Amino acid sequence: MADLSTNFLGIKSPNPFWLASAPPTDKEINVRRAFEAGWGGVVWKTLGEDPPVVNVNGPRYATLWSQDRRVIGFNNIELITDRPLQINLEEIRRVKRDFPDRAVVVSLMVPVNELAWRNILAQVADTGADGVELNFGCPHGMSERGMGSAVGQVPEYIQQVTEWCKTHTDMPVIVKLTPNITDVRFPARAAKQGGADAVSLINTVNSVMGVDLDRMTMSPVTDGWGSHGGYCGPAVKPIALNMVAEIARDPETAGLPLSGIGGITTWRDAAEFIAMGCGTVQVCTAAMVYGFKIVQDMCSGLSNFMDEKGYASIEDFRGRAVPTVKNWNQLNLNHVEKAVIHQDSCIQCGRCHVVCEDTSHQAIWAMKDGKRHFEVNEAECVGCNLCVSICPVPGTITMRALQPGETDARTGRVIDGSYANWTTHPNNPMRAGCA
Amino acid sequence: MDLADLKPGRLTPDDYARNFADAHPPLNRTQALIEAERCYYCYAAPCQTACPTGIDIPAFIQRVAQDNVRGAAEAILTANPLGGMCARVCPTEVLCEQACVRNTNESKPVEIGLLQRFAVEGYFANPGARQLFERAASTGKRVAVVGAGPAGLAAAHGLAWRGHDITLFDAAPKLGGLNEYGLATYKVAGGFAQKEIDWLLSIGGITPRLNCRLGRDITLDGLLADYDAVFLGMGLGGVNALGIAEPELPGLGDAVDFIAELRQSDPAQVVVGRKVVVIGGGMTAVDAAVQSRLLGAEQVTMAYRRGPEALSASRVEQEWAQTNGVTIRCWARPVAIEAAGVRFAATRLEGGKLVDTGEQFFIEADMVLRAIGQVYEPEGSAIELQGGRILTDEQFRTSVPRVWAGGDCRYGGRDLTVEAVEHGKRAAESIHAALTEVAHG
């Protein structure tokens, strides 16, 4: 059986699944329930200076549902912990004492002031916690006070605070990054420059969930007014995965340990983040949607996947997909694929035809011998994958790569198996050797 | 049958209420939204092709999913002004739902009929809802529509919408035809037939003339003298005879009369036997047999002279009958109606022909209902018939100028409500074209 245990910055956990700093890790009772359910670690909900913040008492969460009311996206306006610092510290100490094999990392957010950071780091270290995560990501409320994403959006601040933390503690320091920036490589580089042991990402994305069309207010609202929240859940996973990949493949940050966060709901999501370089993954929304037991299904799936593929440990496949992430100009323009509709499982809904006809390349016929029948016209198909994407029956439309010697019916070109990208393409006015 | 145990009131008031309530309860909003999500929004959707009135089913279901009930009702009622009744009575299992692509993998089509009912009834239930159809300016043309069943109502609506003035004749004291008199009570619970008619008439320009029978109170020549055009949609006024001696017995009657009586009465007042035989294999037979059971009959047999594959009641209807305790007895040809029941000859197919096997058997009955089909009763004019019904061209024009026909009295088709609606709808288009052509000529 595969070994799911991880050693991340020297912090050991029996599996790579940590609960992210969020409402599920706000209190001892929650964290105990999480560890009893099998979570490998937690990042305790962000501690701040006393007096604690206060939260709104109206809606703190709102949801984007799929059509069958599965939670796709989740939005919150909760701030950092609203409980006194000492209570949190005592609880952390007790929980770590009772669960020594689990990772207990403590998320922190105090003003950009060296003394403030030094004080709180000392208190956290005293609990026996395994490490700290610097919350430079919270996009709502705290950012208005110059903390959270207000720090994470300024690489110089990230570097400065990280340096202070590294100066004042021996605990591993993880810097949690905000996605509310233009290029995630800059804050990641700053964290590394500041001496961060790792970065974790992503924090939530700025979001307004909707508009109440009867009241003509944004939603959700507290007594008629609302404020943007932080967006997470399955819908943000592709955004997170891209940012993880960018950091993993950036020569300046390659090799920096990564803790992946963003919409991880299944073992498959977790495996994808690990394949993209992450040493642990952090989960919040899935737990808030299904409860803590979901970790058992994630562990089961990940373990079976690893056994099936012959990976003995997480490290065996960590980062395997990173070298496949390239700039667009490196993609092979000689490679040609065509869609194939498998008639034995086609249910004849015709959606592939109409979307190709209306919005793409008019490459799917709707009729054969006077009968309803959907088939790809290879002379028009550009291999765009739209039909595969919208077909309601899994596996019914697939893409087939043309093999050397085959002719592309659309261009008349014979596939020769060679590689050529945009940098050398005749249409590229900037190509090498072009005057 | 002189000792027949025929009486009303076999059950408790609660039994009647339960037995004659909606057989297939409507979807609530949550159920409708969940079901609507199952629709794949197919291209050139097979369900739409299978619908005799061509309702854009993916569009109306998408609108249900988007919480746009009025828009959904508009998509339905534009194609089929009696879309509410059709949602309840269409044999969807052989029409739209049979064509649903979900059948391929799941054998479970989208519940199109129930969604259609949700949309139409949701729209009707909203008293503030804006009218879907605005009547065109009056053309000054007058059209007589004879028969206020599904075909006549659809024709009247389509013509009134286009600005013509309609007189809607019917021999019965209420509008609706089979919708009001010919369907099982549990299919049209809640007075839906009249609610739908109220909505349909609200377009304006339709004047009902009830208790007025063509051939008795009015004549086709008279109508042609008074009106610019005539649409005939009288349905089938006669009932097929069994072709054997039919003694005067109190328990012997027509299934259509029994069904009509139930629709117009408190079920507790309707007489039913202890042992009932319904002769026939169609939907009317099922409606009569099941309702006999629901009135408290202990043994109900539906006897049909051919094999099960030839039953015209759909598979779903047959199962509904059986679920309600009706015995379906095939290969049974009635040979004698006796006081104590019906004597049958057993039959079989021989070289494609139905023949008696030589065996006979007897089914006890104190009530026997004929349900072996209805026939068109000519109204006395020289209109050309085919197969005993009115012959029309594809535009529903009869052999008599200025006279159109549709619904069950017209030759061709499967005698479905939804087909009758389509006939009325398309005849209205043709009549309108003819009337406006004259005006321009």
Reported as a single tens digit per residue, the pLDDT across A279-304 is: 999 999 999 999 999 999 999 999 99
Whole-number Å distance between alpha carbons of A350 and B293? 45
Please, which residues have CB within 8 angstroms of residue B262's CB and are 6 or more apart in sequence? B20, B184, B185, B270, B291, B295
Residue A202, pLDDT > 80, answer: yes
Partner-chain contact B101 A347, CB within 8 Å: yes
Tell me which of A139 and B163 has the higher pLDDT: B163
pLDDT at B2: 46
For the segment B193-220, the average pLDDT, to the nearest whole number, is 96
Partner-chain contact A366 B65, CB within 8 Å: no
The nearest CA of chain A is from the CA of B42 a distance in Å of: 5
Quick one: pLDDT band at residue A434, thresholds 50, 70, 90?
low
* The B165-169 sheet, strands edge to edge: B206-209, B165-169, B142-146, B229-232, B403-405
Number of other CB atoms surrounding residue B116 within 10 Å: 29
Do β-strands A205-207 and B299-303 pair in parallel, antiparallel, or remain unpaired? Answer: unpaired
pLDDT at B440: 54
pLDDT at B441: 47
Token pair in block for residue B182 = 């010919």
Tens of pLDDT, residue by residue over A302-349, are 999 999 999 999 999 999 999 999 999 999 999 999 999 999 999 999
Residues of B in contact with A347 (CB under 8 A): 40, 101-102, 104-105
Whole-number Å distance between alpha carbons of A404 and A418? 9
Q: Measuring CA to CA, how many Å separate A152 from each of A110, A160, A207?
A: 13, 11, 17
Residue B406, pLDDT > 70, answer: yes
Token pair in block for residue B290 = 């099941």
Token pair in block for residue A405 = 């010697």
Number of other CB atoms surrounding residue A244 within 10 Å: 29
Three-state secondary-structure class, residue B242: coil
For the segment A253-282, the average pLDDT, to the nearest whole number, is 98
Whole-number Å distance between alpha carbons of B78 and B82? 10
Whole-number Å distance between alpha carbons of B44 and B278? 42
Residue A83, pLDDT > 90, answer: yes
For the segment A87-94, the average pLDDT, to the nearest whole number, is 98
Mean model confidence pLDDT for chain B: 95
Mean model confidence pLDDT for chain A: 96
pTM (2 d.p.): 0.91
For the segment B59-77, the average pLDDT, to the nearest whole number, is 96
Find the closest chain B residue to A67 by CA distance. B37
Whole-number Å distance between alpha carbons of A42 and A88? 14
| Predicted ipTM of the assembly | 0.86
Please, which residues have CB within 8 angstroms of residue B382's CB and are 6 or more apart in sequence? B400
Phi and psi angles of residue A286, each rounded to the nearest 5 degrees, phi first: -60, -40
Nearest to B40 among A345, A353, A392 (CB): A392
A232 assigned to active site: no
pLDDT at A138: 85
For the segment A149-172, the average pLDDT, to the nearest whole number, is 96
- Alpha helix locations (H) across A177-236? 185-193
Nearest to A350 among B42, B102, B104 (CB): B42
Residue B276, pLDDT > 90, answer: yes
Mutate to test the interface with A, among B30, B41, B42, B61 (most CBs of A within 10 A): B42
Find the closest chain B residue to A344 by CA distance. B104
pLDDT at A435: 55
Burial, A158: exposed, middle or buried (Cβ in 10 Å; 0-12, 13-18, 19+)? buried
Partner-chain contact A67 B65, CB within 8 Å: yes
Whole-number Å distance between alpha carbons of B170 and B151? 12
Nearest to A350 among B44, B65, B104 (CB): B44
